[in-house]
Structure 1
Amino acid sequence: MAVEILYRSTRDLETTFLDRKLADAHDQMLELAEVLTQVLVKHVPGLDENLAEEASIFMAKNRTVFAAAFKNNAAALADLDTPADSGE
């Protein structure tokens, strides 16, 4: 009998990972998305919480692109047009 170690995020109990680093990265992405959702709902009048959550997850998954754009490289946002990540 083989033994397999699985990792999962406490924020997403349905998704499991074979690699701890991937599980940690997923957990950090979800944590960032959670904070972004709170900020968007608080500061964007009339924004639905579900839509804010979807936008936050998208931004968290693509945080390196957004970080580059916020560092005076708006052209980095063009990378979002190429479907590198089909989503989860």
Structure 2
Amino acid sequence: MAVEVVYRSSRDPERLFMDKAEADRHDKMLELAERLSSALHRAVPSLSDEQGEELGIFMARHRDVFARAFKSQPDALDELGASAE
């Protein structure tokens, strides 16, 4: 009988990963998404919880693009149109 080691995300228990580093990256992305969602709700109180969560996850998944845009490369945001999920 073979034994498989899997890793479960602490913030998303339904997701399983074969690699610990991948599970850690996923957890960090979800933590960032949660904090972004909170910041967006403070800035735009009329934003629904679902919209805030979706925006937070989108921004966290594409944090490298947003980071470049905030560092004087606004053209980086053009990449989001091609890779939006």
On whether the aligned pair clears a TM of 0.5, the verdict is yes
Identity %: 51
Structure 1 stretches of 4+ with a deviation exceeding 3 A read none
Return the offset for 1:42. Answer: 1.4
Higher strand share: 1
Higher helix share: 2
The CA RMSD over aligned residues, in Å, is 1.2
User: Which whole-Å CA distance do the structure 1 matches of 2:7 and 2:80 have between them?
Assistant: 29
Query: 2:28 is matched with which residue?
Result: 28
Superposed CA deviations along residues 21-59 of structure 1, whole A, max 9, x for unmatched, are 110000000000011111111121311111010000000
Aligned residues: 85
Alignment of 1:64 onto 2:64? yes
Normalization by structure 1: what TM-score? 0.90
Structure 1 gap segments, 5+ residues each: none
